[in-house]
């Protein structure tokens, strides 16, 4: 019988991965590629078709697993739920004192500017702990990072409470130390979602999974903005507020020790791709122009969100908005964003329209920062709430999309590299932004008692809002320029998606 190309095609019998699945699949990919490109033997070849074909089949069958049946596991939702809890807690810790800054300053007998350092110190602690976070995720995986975060959360919260109840006005320095410890915990849970979703989810659910875990962080901020002002009606209520948060934090950290380190078998084909070591990954990331076009808008917008969340009470206060009204505004900024992100993320998961979504959302966010310059001056609570709601909807929809798009365009760089870099720099610049924003404040009492009815009452932060709008507008061209450097959209993103052709199989 004459030999044909069909003689070199492997019979595909799906089998589950074994302990040596990574090596098997690496060999399988190479063998399958070679076998599919083999040409028919020439007619004048003396080699027997049967012996040649059988030889190929026997060699490949003895060394490789032709096809892998990838599985996703329901247990992945347990780890997802724990990361949701921890992200809520670290964000709640971060903004514990922001929405009630006036009452907090009265209890600790310090200035409002000193209270702002609670948020700022957390952000600088975040930046300082980020290199360790990247190394931990790269070497130990998500579970190691979660355990470390839980330890710092427990220590930080109970130190804050102990220092709050010492003496008549507490020990401000010790409370700040506890706040720094909670800040160290933040990168260990905020940079973990992309690594966790890459490990446990396929391309059909990664954006949604990352969105759920990542956006739990601002949900904690929303709870702080909405709940804390009602827990601190008077300065004497501050110790109870700190105690309540410490108890909630303790309960939230308990499940950390029970989560799984990794799935029993890889969930997708891209899971088999060996991730680069840390230093080569950093080199590849920083040499990619597309990385900067997505990372810079992400960093700037997260930093600006940090500033507006931390200073919302001081931005609105000079115009006679109450502490509770400012807290509701901050809550709307987050809660509306969470709703829209929950709608948009699954759509992008199915359509893979990452770039289109980013190009639409970035100009919307910048426009909202521009419009918010004049919102407090209007003294219209409805206008303030509408702008903050639109801004939140666009910002939170962008957040998981940008994180996942960064992983796609830098694949096979480990997911923790891009996410940790972006979160670190955004928190660092957010802390610097709070300091600059405080320095741009007009002199005078800013709690509304000195409101003179003009567009520039004492203590206003109009110049702060202008600087935020300028920063947001400058970076708009960057994502719009993606694909303008000789490489089309198909060549610069969704590299990881193309490695995952198989569908999910539930176990």
Handedness of CA 202, 203, 205, 207 (dihedral sign): positive
Residue 42 has pLDDT above 60, yes or no: no
Region of 320 please: left (phi>0), alpha (psi -120 to 50) or beta. Answer: left
Comparing CA positions, the residue from 142, 134, 137, 463 lying closest to residue 314 is: 463
Find the range with the poorest average confidence among 24-28, 265-269, 472-476: 24-28
Q: So what's the pLDDT on residue 56?
A: 41
DSSP letter, residue 111: -
Q: Where do we find the tokens 């610097």?
A: 432
Residue 242 has pLDDT above 60, yes or no: yes
The token duo for 139 is 């070497």
Q: Is the peptide bond before 319 cis (omega within 30 degrees of 0)?
A: no
Find the range with the poorest average confidence among 153-167, 271-285, 330-344, 378-392: 271-285
pLDDT digits (tens, 9 = 90+) for 162-205: 999 998 889 999 999 999 999 999 999 998 998 888 888 877 77
More confident of the two residues 42 and 463: 463
DSSP letter, residue 276: P
350 alpha carbon, distance to own chain's centre: 20
Label residue 154 by pLDDT band (50, 70, 90): very high
1.20.1250.20, 2.30.29.30, 1.10.287.610, 3.30.420.40: CATH of 76-265+275-499: 1.20.1250.20
Asked whether the beta carbons of 183 and 126 are under 8 A apart, the reply is yes
Label residue 361 by pLDDT band (50, 70, 90): very high
List all residues 6 or more positions away from 370 whose beta carbon is below 8 Å from its beta carbon.
469, 472, 473
The token duo for 262 is 């990794």
Q: So what's the pLDDT on residue 111?
A: 87
Helix axes 415-439, 192-200, angle to 10 degrees: 160
HEC secondary structure over 323-384: HHHHHHHHHHHHHHHHHHHHHHHHHHHHHCCHHHHHHHHHHHHHHHHHHCCCHHHHCCHHHH
More confident of the two residues 147 and 492: 147
The token duo for 62 is 């003895």
Rounded percentage of the chain residues whose pLDDT exceeds 70:
79
Residue 493 has pLDDT above 80, yes or no: no
Asked whether the beta carbons of 407 and 418 are under 8 A apart, the reply is yes
Comparing CA positions, the residue from 14, 106, 132 lying closest to residue 67 is: 14
What is the secondary structure of 461-474 as a DSSP string? -HHHHHHHHHHHHH
Q: What value does the mean pLDDT take over residues 426-438?
A: 89
pLDDT digits (tens, 9 = 90+) for 78-126: 999 999 999 999 999 988 887 788 889 999 999 888 888 898 888 899 9
Asked whether the beta carbons of 504 and 70 are under 8 A apart, the reply is yes
Q: So what's the pLDDT on residue 179?
A: 95
Domain boundaries defined on the chain: 76-265+275-499
List all residues 6 or more positions away from 53 whose beta carbon is below 8 Å from its beta carbon.
3, 7, 8
Q: So what's the pLDDT on residue 394?
A: 94
- Report the mean per-residue pLDDT for the chain: 80
Cα–Cα distance for residue pair 440/133, rounded to 1 Å: 33
Cα–Cα distance for residue pair 459/280, rounded to 1 Å: 49
Distances in Å between the Cα of 380 and the Cα atoms of 277, 322, 376, 384 are: 53, 13, 7, 6
Label residue 36 by pLDDT band (50, 70, 90): very low
List all residues 6 or more positions away from 191 whose beta carbon is below 8 Å from its beta carbon.
130, 133, 134, 137, 145, 416, 419, 420, 423
Q: Which residues on neighbouring strands pair with residue 506, listed in sequence order?
A: 72
More confident of the two residues 287 and 490: 287
């Amino acid at each position: 019988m004459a030999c044909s190309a069909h003689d070199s095609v492997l019979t595909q019998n799906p089998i589950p991965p074994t302990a040596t699945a990574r090596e098997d699949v690496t060999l399988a990919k190479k063998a399958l590629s070679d076998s599919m490109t083999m040409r028919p033997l020439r007619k004048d070849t003396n080699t027997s078709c049967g012996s040649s074909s059988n030889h190929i089949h026997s060699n490949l069958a003895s060394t490789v697993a032709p096809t892998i049946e990838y599985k996703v596991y329901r247990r992945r939702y347990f780890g997802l739920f724990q990361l949701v809890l921890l992200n809520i807690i670290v964000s709640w810790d971060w903004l514990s004192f922001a929405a009630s800054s006036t009452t907090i300053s009265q209890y600790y007998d310090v200035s409002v500017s000193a209270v702002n350092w609670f948020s700022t110190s957390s952000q600088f602690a975040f930046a300082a702990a980020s290199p360790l976070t990247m190394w931990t995720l790269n070497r130990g995986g998500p579970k190691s990072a979660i355990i470390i975060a839980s330890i710092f959360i427990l220590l930080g919260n109970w130190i804050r409470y102990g220092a709050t109840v010492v003496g008549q006005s507490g020990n401000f320095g010790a409370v700040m130390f506890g706040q720094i410890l909670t800040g160290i915990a933040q990168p260990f849970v905020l940079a973990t979602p992309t690594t966790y979703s890459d490990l446990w989810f396929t391309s059909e659910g990664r954006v949604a999974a990352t969105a759920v875990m990542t956006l739990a962080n601002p949900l904690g901020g929303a709870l702080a903005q909405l709940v804390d002002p009602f827990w601190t009606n008077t300065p004497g209520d501050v110790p109870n507020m700190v105690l309540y948060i410490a108890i909630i934090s303790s309960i939230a950290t308990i499940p950390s020790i029970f989560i799984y380190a990794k799935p029993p078998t890889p969930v997708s084909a891209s899971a088999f791709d060996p991730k680069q070591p840390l230093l080569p990954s950093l080199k590849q990331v920083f040499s990619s122009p597309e990385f900067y076009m997505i990372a810079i808008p992400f960093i700037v917008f997260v930093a600006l969100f940090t500033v507006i969340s931390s200073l919302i009470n001081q931005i609105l206060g000079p115009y006679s908005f109450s502490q509770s009204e400012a807290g509701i505004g901050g809550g709307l900024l987050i809660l509306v964003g969470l709703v829209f992100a929950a709608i948009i993320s699954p759509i992008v998961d199915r359509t893979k329209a990452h770039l289109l979504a980013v190009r639409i959302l970035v100009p919307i966010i910048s426009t909202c920062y521009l419009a918010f310059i004049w919102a407090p001056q209007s003294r219209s609570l409805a206008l303030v709430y509408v702008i903050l709601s639109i801004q939140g909807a666009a910002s939170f929809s962008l957040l998981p999309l940008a994180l996942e798009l960064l992983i796609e365009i830098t694949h096979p760089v480990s997911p923790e590299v891009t996410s940790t870099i972006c979160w670190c720099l955004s928190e660092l610049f957010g802390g610097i932004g709070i300091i600059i924003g405080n320095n741009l404040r007009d002199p005078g009492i800013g709690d509304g008692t000195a409101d003179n009815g003009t567009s520039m009452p004492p203590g206003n932060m109009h110049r702060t809002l202008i600087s935020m709008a300028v920063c947001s507008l400058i970076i708009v061209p960057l994502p719009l320029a993606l694909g303008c450097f000789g490489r089309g959209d198909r060549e610069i993103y969704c590299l990881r998606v193309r490695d995952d052709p198989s569908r999910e199989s539930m176990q």
